Structure 1
Amino acid sequence: MTTVHQACYEILRAQRLTTFFGNPGSNELPFLKDFPEDFRYILGLHEGAVVGMADGFAQANGKPALVNLHSAAGTGNAMGALANAWNSHTPLVVTAGQQVRPMIGVEALLANVDAASLPRPLVKWSAEPSCAQEVPLALSRAIHMAAAPASGPVYLSVPYDDWKQEAGPGVEHLAGRHVETAGMPGPDTLSRLASALEMASNPVMVVGPDVDACGANGSAVTLAERLAMPVWMAPSAPRCSFPTTHECFRGLLPAGIASISRLLEGHDLVLVVGAPVFRYHQYEPGDFLPKGTRLISITCDINEAARAPMGDAVIADIAGTLRALAETASQASRPMPVARVRPALAEEEAGPLAPERVFDILDEMAPRNAIYVNESTSTTNIMWQRLRMTEQGSYYFAAAGGLGFALPAAVGIQLAKPERRVIGVIGDGSANYGIQALWTAAQYNIPAIFLIMKNGTYGALRWFAGVLEADNVPGLDVPGLDFCALARGYGVEALHADSSQTLITSLREALAGDRPVLIEVETRA
C-alpha cells in the first residue's frame, strides 16, 4: 500500500523540493515522520524567520522552496514575512498541519478554522483537501502554481491524520509531471514594441526585480546600450536589475507620484520592465506622468498590469521579451547618456561612523560578486549610490517593506549561494524582527555576515515624522541594545566596530573566515 505520506515525498523528491524550512508543532510531526536521508530540514526558531529564510533561498535559487508551519498560530506568526514573499514573487510552497478531521468541526485546540482563508490575500492559491486521497494532487498543484508566472507563495493545510491513509488510484502519475509556461509575445507585438522604442526621441527604461529574478540583466544592458537609454531602478526595488556602475544607470527612483513624474520629464517614452507601475510609498500627489509622455510596461503579472493607473501593458516572459527586443531594435544615433559622477569618498571623522563611510569601506573590501541584503531602510539611497553592484543577484530588499526580512533572508541566500559571500546590512531596529535566524546560521554553519547599523533609533520613522509633520511621537528610539551579546547568545561570533579601522579589521576577519559573523557598527543617527 502506498500511503499519502509516501506519495507526497515522492512528488517532492521528483520536483527537487528536498530542503524544508520549518518550525514544527504537534500537527506537523506525522508529516515529518521517518524523514528521508536525502532531504534536509532547516529549523528556525520563529515562523517569521522561517519564511524569511525560505524567501531568500527561493529567490536566490529561482525555484520553489518548501515551508512547514504549525497550524493557525504558526501561519499567523509568518504573515508579515508572507507579505514580502507575495510582493517579491517568491515561489514558496507553505504547508501547515491541521487537526485530525473529526476534531476540526468542534474547533478543538490547534484546529485551523477556515484554514484556506487564513493566509489570503498574501498567497496565489490556498486550499485544504476535502479528503486524504486529494492531498497528493493538492501538493502537486501547489508546487506548479507557486512556480508559474507570476510566481509566488501558495498555502496547503493538511489534517495530520491524512498522512497515514492509503493514496488514491493514479497517484503515481503526479511525481513526474512538468508544467511549463510559454509566454513570448507574437511577432506583431514585438514589432510594435521595437518600433515604439526606435521612434521615440528620448526614451527611458525603468527596470524592476523580475528582470534580475529571471536572469535578464544582460539583456537589459544590451537594450539600453542599443537605444542609448538612461535606466532607473523601480521605486523601493527589492532586487538590483542593472549594473550600478554602467554609464546608463541613473539610480533608484523615489516612491512618490510627483517625484517620479519630475524625474521622467523630457522623456517621450517610458519602458517599464519587470516592475509594478509604480510601487509608491509616501503620499505625494501630482501627475502620474509628464504631459506628452507615453508609458509601456512589460510584466509577468496580470495583477500588476491591470492595476496600473496609466500606460499600456504587455504580459509576457520577461527574459525572452527583453532578449528579443535587444536583438531586433536598431542602433540609435544619439549619444550615450553621460555617466553619473560617483560621490566622493566620505571623510574620516571622530565619533560614530557616517553611513557613507560604512558603505565606502564595505564597497572597497567586499568581493565584487558579493550579495547584499538590505534592511537599513534609512540608508537605502546611500547604499545605492555607493555600492558597486554589477553581478546578477547582487541585492535583496523586503519587497513589501515588512521588517524582519534581511537577517533570515541572508541566511537563506547564503545557503543557496555558498560560492558567494552574503552580507546583510541591517538597522538596529529592523534586526530585532528576525534575530532568531542567527541561531540557524550558527547551528548549520551558514557563513553569512550580518552588519548591524547601530544608531539607537528607527531612522526611517524619524524621517517620516518630519515628512508628516508629526512632532513629539513616542517609540522612535531603541537604546540599550547589545547585539554582540545577542549574537553570542545564539552561538554567532560577534565583533564591535566604532571607527573606520575597527570596521576594516572586523570585515577583514569576517571575510577571511567560513562561519557566520555579526559586526555591530556604531553609526550616526
Structure 2
Amino acid sequence: MATARRIAHEFLERRGLTTIFGNPGSNELPFLAELPETFRYVLGLHEGVVVGMADGYAQATGLPVLVNLHAAAGSGNAMGAVTNAVHARSPLVLTAGQQVRSAIGLDAMLANLDAPQLMRPLVGWSGEPSCAGDVPRSLAQAVFEAELQRRPTYLSVPYDDWDAELDDNATATLDRRVTRGQAPDEEQLLALAGALESAASPVLVLGADLDAAGLFDRSVALAEQLGLPVWVAPSPHRLPFPNRHPLFRGVLPAGIGAVSGALAGHDLVLVLGAPVFRYHQHVPGRYLPEGAKLIQVTDDAGAAARAPMGQALVADPAPVIESLLARLPARPASGAAAFAPTPEPATAKTALHPEQVFAALRDTQPADTCYVVESTSTNAAWWRQMDLRHPGSYFFPAAGGLGFGMPAAVGMAMGLPGRPVVGVIGDGSANYGITALWTAAQYHVPVTFVILRNGTYGALRWFSGVLGTPDVPGMDIPGLDFTAIAQGYGVPGVAVRGLDELRAQLKTATAGPRLIQVDTELTTPE
C-alpha cells in the first residue's frame, strides 16, 4: 500500500504542481520528505514573501501553484500577501502543517485548533482532512477549487497523516480531472450585440482579467473594429490594453463620482473582465452619468452579484469578444489614428523626477519587459511616461497590500524565463518584502529592482491632504541604504543620482539579480 505522502506527490506531479514556494516548519517536514527529484522547492525567508513569489509565478504562468506554509503562525504571516492573491484571482494552493491528530485538542505547541477558519473569508475554500485516508481527496479538492474559482485555497494536514498507508480507494484521486465551461447562449449574445448597435455613444471599460486570460490582443481587435474609446477599470493590477493606443483614454479614477464624471457623454458602458468597480477614495456621486446603462461581462460570479448597478452576464469573456467581432460591423473611430507620443518628462531640482526614471526605463528596456510596480505615489508619472504594448507588461498589488512588488518580481522572472522583468519599487514598499532579495540571489533569478528613494511614505502624504490630516506622525523613513541591504543578501547594488548614470546602469546586461537605488522627488498619485 502507498502512503498518503506518496499519493499526494504523484497527484501533484500529474497536475504539474512541481514548483513549490515555501518556508517550512517542523509540522511540514513529513510532507517534504522523499520529495521526487522532478520537484523544485523555492525557499523564501518570510511567509509573506513566499506567497508574493507564488502569486507572481501564478500570474506569469496562468497555472495553479503550491505554497508550503507553517501552521497557524506561519499562515498568519502570509495573510497580508494572500489578500493580493485573492484580488488578483491567483490560483494558489496553500498547504500548512498541523500537529499530530492526538495533540490538536490539547492545544499543543504549533497546533491550530480550528485550522479551516484561519484563512476565511479570504480563501475560496479551506479544509482539513477528516482522517489520513481523506488526505489525497482533500488535496485534490484544494487544487480543483483553486482552478475553478481562480482564488487561493487552504489545506491544513496533521503531520502524522503523511506516513499513513492507504488502501486502493485513495489512488482514485490520481486520475481525476475537473474542467469548467461557461459559454453564453445565443440569446444572450444577440442581446449584447443589439445593445451595442443601438447605443449612440458606447464605451469599453476593460479589466485585468482580460490580460490574465490572454485576451490582450483580442481586446485591441474589438476596440479597433468597433471604433470605441477604451478606459481601464479602476485600481488595475494588470494592463489589458496598450496605454498609448489612440483609443486609450486612461485608467478610470477610483471614486464613485469621479468614475461617473469620466464616463459622461456615454449612454452604454460595456465592462469586460472587471468588477464594477474597485473604488478606493471616497468620492460621492452617481454611479453612472445620467441616462447611461452598464453591462458587465465577467466569469467571476461574486463580482457580478455584488455590483451595485447595471446588468451582468456571467460568462467567459473570450467567446463574448469573439461573438461581437463576428456579429458587429467595423465602424470608424473618431480622433487620432496613431499611437500617442510620450510627453517630455518633468524635471526636479534636488533629485530625479519619477517621470525621468520611467522615461529611462522606457528608452532602455526591451519592449516586452514585464514591470512589477509597487510605488503608489508615482502612478500619475508612470502612466504619463510608459509605453506598454505587450500582454503581461504591468503588474500591481491587486489589493493594495504592500510587500507584493519585490517577491512578485522574483516569481514573475522564474515563471517567464527569457523575458526581462523589472521591479519598480518605492522605498516604503521595499521593506515589506526585502527578503525576496535572498531568494533572487540564491536561485540566480535574472531580475532588476529599481528602488525609488524619496525618504517618505509618499502615498500617505497625499492621503493626509485628501483626508485633512496633515499633522499625523510616521510619514518619514530616512537613512535607508538599499545597496548595502542588497549586498548583504547577495545581490549587487548600486546607487545612482544623475540621469546619465541611471541610463548607463539600465543598459548594462546582467545574468542574475541586481538592484539600482535612485533618489527621486516626492510626487502624488494623481
Cα distance between partner residues in 1 of 2:257 and 2:517: 37
Quote the sequence identity (%): 53
Cα distance between partner residues in 2 of 1:219 and 1:328: 15
Q: Label 1:376 to 1:486 Cα distance change in 2 as closer, same or farther (>3 A).
A: same
Could you tell me how far 1:69 is from its partner in structure 2? Answer: 0.2
Alignment check: 8 A CA contact 1:184 1:317 kept: yes
Cα distance between partner residues in 2 of 1:80 and 1:439: 20
Deviates more, 1:385-394 or 1:62-71: 385-394
Specify the alignment match of 1:242 in structure 2.
241
Specify the alignment match of 1:18 in structure 2.
18
Q: Label 1:349 to 1:288 Cα distance change in 2 as closer, same or farther (>3 A).
A: closer
Where 1:41 maps in the other structure, the secondary structure is strand
Cα distance between partner residues in 1 of 2:143 and 2:108: 30
Could you tell me how far 1:193 is from its partner in structure 2? Answer: 0.8
Specify the alignment match of 2:27 in structure 1.
27
Could you tell me how far 1:495 is from its partner in structure 2? Answer: 1.1
Deviations 1:466-507 (A, max 9, x none): 000102110011101010000000000101111101111211
Alignment check: 8 A CA contact 1:496 1:502 kept: no
Q: 2:521 aligns with which of 508, 514, 524?
A: 524
Cα distance between partner residues in 1 of 2:414 and 2:200: 46
Alignment of 1:287-306 (within 5 A): 287-306=286-305
Deviations 1:221-246 (A, max 9, x none): 11111111111111110001001121
Alignment check: 8 A CA contact 2:348 2:521 kept: no
Could you tell me how far 1:313 is from its partner in structure 2? Answer: 0.4
Where 2:422 maps in the other structure, the secondary structure is strand
Cα distance between partner residues in 1 of 2:369 and 2:162: 42
Cα distance between partner residues in 1 of 2:13 and 2:278: 37
Match status 1:504 vs 2:506: no
Alignment check: 8 A CA contact 1:249 1:340 kept: no
Match status 1:86 vs 2:72: no
Alignment check: 8 A CA contact 1:198 1:227 kept: no
Specify the alignment match of 1:376 in structure 2.
375
> Which letter maps to 2:472?
V
Alignment check: 8 A CA contact 1:225 1:336 kept: no
> Which letter maps to 1:100?
V
Could you tell me how far 1:342 is from its partner in structure 2? Answer: 4.0
The Cα RMSD (Å) is 1.2
Deviations 1:398-446 (A, max 9, x none): 0000000010000000000011110000000000000010000000000
Alignment check: 8 A CA contact 2:371 2:394 kept: yes
Alignment check: 8 A CA contact 1:252 1:381 kept: no
TM-score calculated relative to the size of structure 1: 0.98
Specify the alignment match of 1:434 in structure 2.
433
TM-score calculated relative to the size of structure 2: 0.97
Q: Label 1:389 to 1:497 Cα distance change in 2 as closer, same or farther (>3 A).
A: same
Structure 1 runs, 4 residues or longer, greater than 3 Å off: 333-343, 347-350
Cα distance between partner residues in 2 of 1:202 and 1:117: 48
Could you tell me how far 1:176 is from its partner in structure 2? Answer: 2.5
> Which letter maps to 1:113?
L
Cα distance between partner residues in 2 of 1:233 and 1:335: 19
Match status 1:193 vs 2:192: yes
Specify the alignment match of 1:45 in structure 2.
45
Cα distance between partner residues in 1 of 2:429 and 2:316: 35
Match status 1:231 vs 2:230: yes
Where 1:352 maps in the other structure, the secondary structure is coil
Where 2:425 maps in the other structure, the secondary structure is strand
Specify the alignment match of 1:9 in structure 2.
9
Deviates more, 1:53-62 or 1:345-354: 345-354
Specify the alignment match of 2:70 in structure 1.
70
Alignment check: 8 A CA contact 1:426 1:452 kept: yes
Unaligned runs of 5+ in 2: none
Cα distance between partner residues in 2 of 1:514 and 1:492: 12
Could you tell me how far 1:334 is from its partner in structure 2? Answer: 5.5
